[in-house]
Amino acid sequence: MLRSLAVVALVGCSLPEGDYFGRTPDTLDPTHFRWCNQGEPDHLDPTLASSTASSQLVATLFDGLTTYGPDGLPAASLATHWEIAPDLRTFTFHLRRDARWSNGRAVTAYDIAHSAFRVAHPLTASPNADTLAPIKGATGYLTRRVFVMRRAVASLSAGEVVEVAGEVASEPIVDPSARTGGRPLALRDLGAAATTAYAIVPAGKTVTLMMTTGGRATLPSPDGAAWAYVAWQRDLEGVAGWVPTRELDGEPNGDHVLQVRRAQVKDTPGPPDSRTEGGERPIVAVHARDLLHSTDAIGIAIPDPYTITFETADPTPYFLALTTNRALRATPIEAWSRWPRRWDRPEHIVTSGPFHLAAWVERDRVELVRSPTYWDRGAVKLARFTAFSMDDQAASTNTYFTGACDATAANTIPSSYLPAINGEQRAGRAYKDYDVSPFLGVYFAWIQTRKLPNVHLRRALSLAIDRTGVARFTHGGEIPTAQLTPGTPIAALSDADLAVCGVTRDTQGVALVMIAGQLCYVPPPGLSYDLAAARHEVELARGEGGFPDHVLEYRYNAGSEAHKQIAEYLQAAWANIGVPVRVTAQEWNSLLDDTHKGDYEISRLGNIGTFADTESEFLPLFRCDSPDNRGKYCSAAFERLMDEARTISDRRLRNAKLREAEAVMIEDAPVLPIYVYTQKHLIKPYVRGYAVNLIDQPPLWQIWIDPAGRAAR
């Protein structure tokens, strides 16, 4: 295993004398690219993947309506063209007819919709559900708070979308989708005979009805009869499949009474009609059997198999950028149905992207091969792509140094190596295979606010940090910041962007240029270093009984020298204000799991944006109902301002409201920003097409190996 290679000690040893840090292998296969990835992927299922070690592989395996171009901006892919309504609330995409899954089936709009419905369904627990939040009904569907009427009750008509009105928001809603069969249920593909079933649900066992045929964005019935798609949690894996609807003759929760009212017009898919426009929305008592947790409550419609339309509740100027995201990458229903938690393994996976998964050796490597069914396969020059799962930065860099990989993923170089590589120890001569570029990301300490609920204590932790001292650990041009939203240092902006941002060159901090020369977002300043203020906040916390009676714990992921050094630096800063903290290293995926569950007090994490918009990429992490709100922060003021912002079409006014929201959140200190990332790569001179961009989403399938570049050493 490459992960066990001996570490080359650069400090104190002679450095390569030439222009390049890494060695060139003696033999070069021009069809094979070897990449040192950032670690072990958490998933390769686009619906469940959440780590940076997964995202670029997912984009290589699975196609989307759009994909990442070399500049990181959306480029046409499954969708050849699209229309955006003037009010920025309706988005229609037209799909190509020649896209195929690796099993030969055509990729259609129903595959996009199925992926979105999986992300939005509460059973999935997808960390990518935030992406769908702008779509009508998606959040209500996720939280089981919007339903479709199955029959008329009082003033409500069959087919109307309703929302729960009489339940406490924090309480779970009884699931009206629970079903049973009086006879065993044969789960199979849509329209298939019962004899082809791949799972049998025993009579009387409860399943969850997920969708039915003939909906706004669900498959039509193949035989004229109604079919139902159900999930059965038979074990930790589960299984799902289609059955004739008539076989679901039991509703265990049918007698439960809920209070509902007609959904607001702006949250109701489709054009308004006489029932939904204006007027009162009286509360009506209904039984669970009167409701359907239906995908028809979500603003997605499929007028034909190669056209899909999304409706958003409010103007969503960034919606096109969302279509590159994992949440809207097509996934195959037939594979997921049989193995919901394991369908992304090599023996089960069905893909649509430029590459197909050939092998996944856990904690070692992921092997990809060029897909023979990809619609643009002629543009893919590589035959093989190997991604080494290198969660140890020293091992990654030394693997590159020895010539065993051709490039490293962003920020996998130990901080102690950087002075040698970036030229600090070579009279300013950086190696030519070293690249440092801007990065849309922020490194921070995330606080679990339910475990540390006192705002004065959290503020003290932020005010105690002199972020300028972190640079001596990182050596990569990172930008110290107490601002959450990352961006370019204001001092480095062009004159045109200074004018758009409304700042002068001597203004402190960073600004996010959203459209060069046209649109800018300047985040609020944050709680910067002020030792006296930090000590005052500690005293306020003590006075309120909010000072901890135990040593706090700060966690970071093992394998990075800089993470460890920063952890110890923060530990010392907090000791300086009388707050004792111990630091704990943890394996990366375990850290992700624990923070997702809220099982921590303070943890090193970060957030990388997929495009330049804080409303979509950074602020949603702190909304009360966000599935990725790892800090469990919830503020009524922040929620109100975020809700007000999303109704504003004018993007400058919208940004002003977002800035108010971010200021409320950052003053509450659920997160302690430390620095804005840069991205640092090592790339061999014979590697072509490795397009480094602001969001670190190079289209890896466009890479090729140029044997003529091998001569450079």
Looking at residues 154-183, what average pLDDT do you find? 85
Q: Where are the beta strands (DSSP E) in 268-340?
A: 284-287, 291-292, 300-304, 307-311
Q: What is the CATH number of domain 437-484+538-678?
A: 3.10.105.10
Q: What is the pLDDT of residue 17?
A: 84
Looking at residues 291-315, what average pLDDT do you find? 97
pLDDT digits (tens, 9 = 90+) for 665-678: 999 999 999 999 99
pLDDT digits (tens, 9 = 90+) for 381-433: 999 999 999 989 999 999 999 999 999 999 899 888 999 999 988 988 999 99
Q: Where are the beta strands (DSSP E) in 150-226?
A: 161-164, 178-179, 185-187, 199-201, 207-212
Residue 239's pLDDT band (cuts 50, 70, 90): very high
Q: What is the pLDDT of residue 369?
A: 98
* pLDDT > 90 fraction of the chain, expressed in percent and rounded: 82
- Do the Cβ atoms of 682 and 476 come closer than 8 Å? no
- Do the Cβ atoms of 462 and 672 come closer than 8 Å? yes
Looking at residues 347-359, what average pLDDT do you find? 98
pLDDT surpassing 60 at residue 511 = yes
pLDDT surpassing 70 at residue 278 = no
CATH topology of domain 177-252: SH3 type barrels. (2.30.30)
- Do the Cβ atoms of 114 and 300 come closer than 8 Å? no
Higher per-residue confidence, 109 vs 470 = 109
C-alpha 549: how far from chain center:
36
Q: Is 503 left (phi over 0), alpha (psi -120 to 50) or beta?
A: beta
Residue 277's pLDDT band (cuts 50, 70, 90): low
Q: Picking from 48-57, 351-360, 369-378, which range would have the lowest pLDDT averaged per residue?
A: 48-57
Using CA atoms, how far apart are residues 345 and 361, in angstroms rounded to an integer? 10
- Sequence-ordered alpha helix ranges (H) in 223-381: 319-322, 333-338
Secondary-structure percent of the chain, ordered helix, strand, coil, rounded to 5:
25, 25, 50
Residue 712's pLDDT band (cuts 50, 70, 90): low
Using CA atoms, how far apart are residues 116 and 350, in angstroms rounded to an integer? 17
Residue 5's pLDDT band (cuts 50, 70, 90): very low
Phi, psi angle pair for 573, to nearest 5°: -65, -40
285: β partners: 259
For the whole prediction, is pTM greater than 0.75? Answer: yes
Looking at residues 194-198, what average pLDDT do you find? 98
What residue spans define the domains of the chain? 177-252, 437-484+538-678
pLDDT digits (tens, 9 = 90+) for 534-552: 999 999 999 999 999 999 9
pLDDT surpassing 50 at residue 8 = no
Tokens 């419609």 locate to: 301
3-state SS assignment for residue 76: strand
- Mean pLDDT for the chain? 93
Looking at residues 277-284, what average pLDDT do you find? 79
Q: Is the dihedral of CA 532, 538, 539, 540 positive or negative?
A: positive
Q: What is the pLDDT of residue 561?
A: 84
pLDDT surpassing 90 at residue 272 = no
> Could you count the other beta carbons within 10 Å of the beta carbon of residue 559?
21
- Do the Cβ atoms of 261 and 284 come closer than 8 Å? yes
675: β partners: 443, 480
Higher per-residue confidence, 252 vs 8 = 252
DSSP state of 188: B
The alpha carbons of the chain give a radius of gyration, in whole angstroms, of: 26
309: β partners: 92, 301
Q: What is the pLDDT of residue 2?
A: 39
DSSP secondary structure string for all residues of 15-44: PP-SS-SSPPPSS--TTEEEEEESS--S-S
Q: What is the pLDDT of residue 517?
A: 84
DSSP secondary structure string for all residues of 43-73: -SSTTT--SHHHHHHHHHHS-BSEEE-TTSS
pLDDT surpassing 50 at residue 4 = no
pLDDT surpassing 70 at residue 331 = yes
Higher per-residue confidence, 627 vs 296 = 296
